[in-house]
Structure 1
Amino acid sequence: MTDTTTPISTDETPVDPVDRVLSRADAHSGVRVFGAAQALQDEATAFGGSTDGEQWDREERAALRRVPGLSTELEDVTEVEYRQLRLENVILVGVHPQGEQSDAENSLRELAALAETAGAVVLDGVLQRRPHPDPATYLGRGKAQELKDLVAALGADTVIADTELAPSQRRALEDVVKVKVIDRTTVILDIFSQHAKSREGKAQVELAQLEYLLPRLRGWGDSMSRQAGGQVGAGGAGMGSRGPGETKIELDRRRIRTKMAILRRQIRDFAPARDAKRAERKRNTIPSVAIAGYTNAGKSSLLNRLTSAGVLVENALFATLDATVRRAEASDGRIYTLTDTVGFVRNLPHQLVEAFRSTLEEVGDSDVILHVVDAAHPDPASQLQTVRDVIGDVGARDITEIVVFNKADLVDEDTRMVLRGLEPRALFASSRTGEGIEELRSALEAALPLPAVEVHAVVPYDRGDLVSAVHETGHIISEAHEEDGTALHAHVSERLAAELAPFVS
């Protein structure tokens, strides 16, 4: 990675340097130079093996990968065909104040991983140091002109800003650089739209996209004009054109609001079925563990290792969008559930938090949160804080949390010492090698809540169904076979305690 500080002469004072995160020579050669701080895992260690199952879903997703090296023009084919045939070449830009360069570089590398996951080739990345982003063009005017030259030199199609741009900033920067300008939120929404699989997931993503699009609609030329009126000679269009016309942009806004109302209603309609399943688990006192964590921390791989679930695993950001619930059995026979949830990322768009609130409820309603952190990530502290902020947003701060540093096989002992300093009680595990999995499983079982009622009962031998139910949903302290039946000392649910009442000793 090369870092250069180039003062640019502009009409702004003071002159702020631009810090190059990728070198132009490497950009021309197509070489990735993100180093250890990239958000994606190295391909050599990206995928596990037998514990992840057949992974048919990953093969299906990879079958639609876009192909580099094919050239076509947007006018020749539809937008969908364009996106499948031609990889977008992008340049990343960011702004950071004095003293925050390291954090800004990590954020830009994460944006590069997001762009690659969305299907783009990252050519270059630049950072500008200034106290605040320019309210007009995000970068300063002089830096925007330099960016225009860089775009022309590298042949980029798109510029991606490492923040959420105001509509006016995006339009002004587009007018300068003469190519499409998007922001971090747009990239995340694009990834979500590609990876959503279930009907609910697709509806949630579409709602988030429309909420983001609504204030950013832009009309062109005649589409902005109301129906004309008045005399032809006075600039009007004459007869047949008078009346309270609706501009195209107003019509689009009304259609978007209508569609958003329909999507919200659909998402509400999905809730009863999920609530019913959750209520049934609660009624049977089946404890639940929610696996939460930063995107690409290895949550799905860990679920596969713990339960042989065969859930989709991919070295990409936001590979999992739909909550997956799997059954697991503790060593004492108790049944509990493990739920894989959508990953989090820094500056997660609020539209997505709101749209996926129903999915995030799985975290808020769980008994234990298994917080997975990527041990090999260059900034695990920010991962921890980001995830805990979202956990707080869904009202789950008081739930028992177990922190596990995954991908422990990729870090040395010195790094482990640093991580222990961050979280002294955290566990280390590797879903790839199996290291620490049994210790993690024991910690989960110890954290599971005990059923509410303690009973001493002698269950007749012809009521083996009750003994089996106690094994599945209760916690047995002691069990003995006597002349009159099976003597049990156990913690059970109120419902099961009522059924055992006639046999309480």
Structure 2
Amino acid sequence: MENSELVPVINIGLNTGRYNFDYAMEELKALSQANNMTVIETIVQNLSQPIAGTYFGTGKVEELRDVVVDTGAEIVVANDELTPSQIRNLENVVKVPVMDRTGLILAIFANRAQSREAKLQVELAKLQYQMPRLHTAMNQRLDQQTGTSAGGGFTNRGAGEAQVELNRRTIQRQINHVRHELKEVNKSAEVKRQQRERVQLPNVALIGYTNAGKSTIMNELIKRFGMNDDKQVMVKNMLFATLDTSVRQLQFEDTKKLLLSDTVGFVSQLPTTLVEAFKSTLYEAANADLLVQVVDYSSPNRIDMMSTTKQTLNEIGVPDLPMVTVYNKADLTDSDYPSRAGDEIVVSAKDPASIDLLVDVIREKVFKNYVKATFLIPFDRGDLVSYLNEHASVTGTDYLADGTQLDAEVTDIDFQRLQKFVVEK
């Protein structure tokens, strides 16, 4: 939905007391807005668990029907993942489409996917979401065509079962096809990753909740240290503005380099199918030398957001990697910034001093194993001189009778490899 017309919707939610309900409903509203909807009413109910057939209780469902009529809402959006029968039964009463949280997130992802990889990942998640819903959807269409109820005659059920099986096979074939295409795309992506790994540069991954400011921070770093000015990433004030992992190479004044990746943002109750589908996209985070968790410091729900980030990292199998936490958007609070307390910093992405502090922290973490040394390289090993000039921080060069002497700061791996050329002082 990328047109200018906003679709009027009603958000509904069930407060079971098992999680931060107010926060979840705020997030549902933001997700709805990200899908080009405007929330005109919110209806909630306190229950220990959903009603099996209708999600809400009977009285609340009737209230929802009346509000839909009074407001002219075109869609009802539920905060939880609904069963096929719950969706069908609610739609029979309210007479407008009902979308659950999973369907909403899938719709957003489908609209935002740009790269072939992201589009295939979203398509796979959508097909996996549709598969268990075939039976109810098909029975509903047969009921409408024949005028019978869901418990209608044997003939109709038989026809429905046959059609459902055909549809299931069709979707399974589509799933297999998409998985095959994803494997081919992933092969190409894997080659690029291996090429980056051969360069042996530290890998820093920006992670965190969607719309926390990761892309803004990345662009500020690219402006200063990027190898190519036109490689900015898209920034937009909305959830899931981008789904693709962007990787850029940065080079600092002392010639030290690193790879910086901007990953897809997280959100609470992210559908399992999407978590699975985007595992390959989050490869950069799983293989990073340092994770930089970006948090919206101005949000009253930042603790919940950080918890969601931790949970999602666990779900996609990211190991317990070194991490620094960047509390961004401090300009929207009364806090002093930039400031630092251990591995936590408070910043504003648009503040140059904040970026200075962030760079200092990143450098401190990823270049801590660098060693300062003086090397005397024989003239017939010009390849090593070239290597050091390209991969090390060279602070001095002298041409002596027996070779080229370089003062340089190198990784501990390179120091060991070039040990025999080290000049003892």
The alignment's TM-score, normalised by the length of structure 1, stands at 0.73
Greater alpha carbon shift after TM alignment, 168-177 vs 289-298 = 168-177
Instruction: Quote the residue 1:96 is aligned against.
Output: 15
Instruction: Quote the residue 1:336 is aligned against.
Output: 258
Change (3 A) 1:261 1:503: same
Partner SS state of residue 352, structure 2: coil
Instruction: Quote the residue 1:459 is aligned against.
Output: 377
Alignment of 1:322-333 (within 5 A): 322-333=244-255
Partner SS state of residue 358, structure 1: coil
Q: CA deviation at 1:400?
A: 1.0
Alignment of 1:288-367 (within 5 A): 288-308=203-223, 309-367=231-289
Instruction: Quote the residue 1:273 is aligned against.
Output: 188
Instruction: Quote the residue 2:3 is aligned against.
Output: 66
Q: CA deviation at 1:91?
A: 0.1
Alignment of 1:242-257 (within 5 A): 247-257=162-172
Partner SS state of residue 291, structure 1: strand
Could you tell me how far apart the structure 1 residues matched to 2:303 and 2:80 are? Answer: 20
Q: CA deviation at 1:456?
A: 5.4
Establish whether residue 172 from structure 1 lines up as the match of residue 89 from structure 2: yes
The C-alpha deviation readout for 1:3-44, integer Å capped at 9, x for no partner, is: xxxxxxxxxxxxxxxxxxxxxxxxxxxxxxxxxxxxxxxxxx
- Say if 2:323 and 2:343, in contact at 8 Å, map to a contact too: no
- Say if 1:334 and 1:471, in contact at 8 Å, map to a contact too: no
Q: Percent identity?
A: 37
The alignment's TM-score, normalised by the length of structure 2, stands at 0.85
Could you tell me how far apart the structure 1 residues matched to 2:355 and 2:264 are? Answer: 22
Establish whether residue 439 from structure 1 lines up as the match of residue 357 from structure 2: yes
The C-alpha deviation readout for 1:398-441, integer Å capped at 9, x for no partner, is: 21101101111111129x89x99xx8641122223334110101
* Amino acid paired to 1:344: F
Establish whether residue 395 from structure 1 lines up as the match of residue 317 from structure 2: yes
Q: CA deviation at 1:284?
A: 2.2
- Say if 1:91 and 1:124, in contact at 8 Å, map to a contact too: yes
Partner SS state of residue 121, structure 1: strand
- Say if 1:195 and 1:321, in contact at 8 Å, map to a contact too: yes
* Amino acid paired to 1:298: G
- Say if 2:205 and 2:262, in contact at 8 Å, map to a contact too: yes
Instruction: Quote the residue 2:146 is aligned against.
Output: none
Change (3 A) 1:244 1:431: closer
Q: CA deviation at 1:372?
A: 0.5
Partner SS state of residue 339, structure 1: strand
Instruction: Quote the residue 2:114 is aligned against.
Output: 197
Could you tell me how far apart the structure 1 residues matched to 2:362 and 2:326 are? Answer: 11
Instruction: Quote the residue 2:52 is aligned against.
Output: 135
Partner SS state of residue 413, structure 1: coil
Change (3 A) 1:451 1:462: farther
- Say if 2:207 and 2:263, in contact at 8 Å, map to a contact too: yes
Q: Name stretches of at least 5 consecutive residues in structure 2 with no aligned partner.
A: 144-153, 224-230
* Amino acid paired to 1:249: V
Could you tell me how far apart the structure 2 residues matched to 1:495 and 1:275 are? Answer: 25
Could you tell me how far apart the structure 1 residues matched to 2:291 and 2:196 are? Answer: 17
Instruction: Quote the residue 1:4 is aligned against.
Output: none
Q: Residue 371 of structure 1 is aligned with which of 293, 314, 333?
A: 293
Instruction: Quote the residue 1:485 is aligned against.
Output: 404
Change (3 A) 1:312 1:264: same
Q: Name stretches of at least 5 consecutive residues in structure 1 with no aligned partner.
A: 1-63, 69-86, 225-234, 238-242
- Say if 1:450 and 1:491, in contact at 8 Å, map to a contact too: no
Q: Residue 201 of structure 2 is aligned with which of 273, 279, 286?
A: 286
Could you tell me how far apart the structure 2 residues matched to 1:490 and 1:404 are? Answer: 28
Change (3 A) 1:341 1:168: same
The C-alpha deviation readout for 1:128-186, integer Å capped at 9, x for no partner, is: 11212212211111111111111111011111100111112211222222211111111
The C-alpha deviation readout for 1:268-318, integer Å capped at 9, x for no partner, is: 112222222222222221111111110011111110001134211111110
Partner SS state of residue 99, structure 2: strand
* Amino acid paired to 1:141: T
Change (3 A) 1:276 1:222: closer
Q: CA deviation at 1:485?
A: 1.7
Instruction: Quote the residue 2:345 is aligned against.
Output: 427
Q: Residue 77 of structure 2 is aligned with which of 160, 167, 183?
A: 160
Q: Number of paired residues?
A: 402
Establish whether residue 385 from structure 1 lines up as the match of residue 307 from structure 2: yes
Establish whether residue 148 from structure 1 lines up as the match of residue 65 from structure 2: yes
* Amino acid paired to 1:412: D
Partner SS state of residue 372, structure 1: strand
Could you tell me how far apart the structure 2 residues matched to 1:222 and 1:349 are? Answer: 26
- Say if 1:470 and 1:492, in contact at 8 Å, map to a contact too: no
Establish whether residue 109 from structure 1 lines up as the match of residue 26 from structure 2: yes
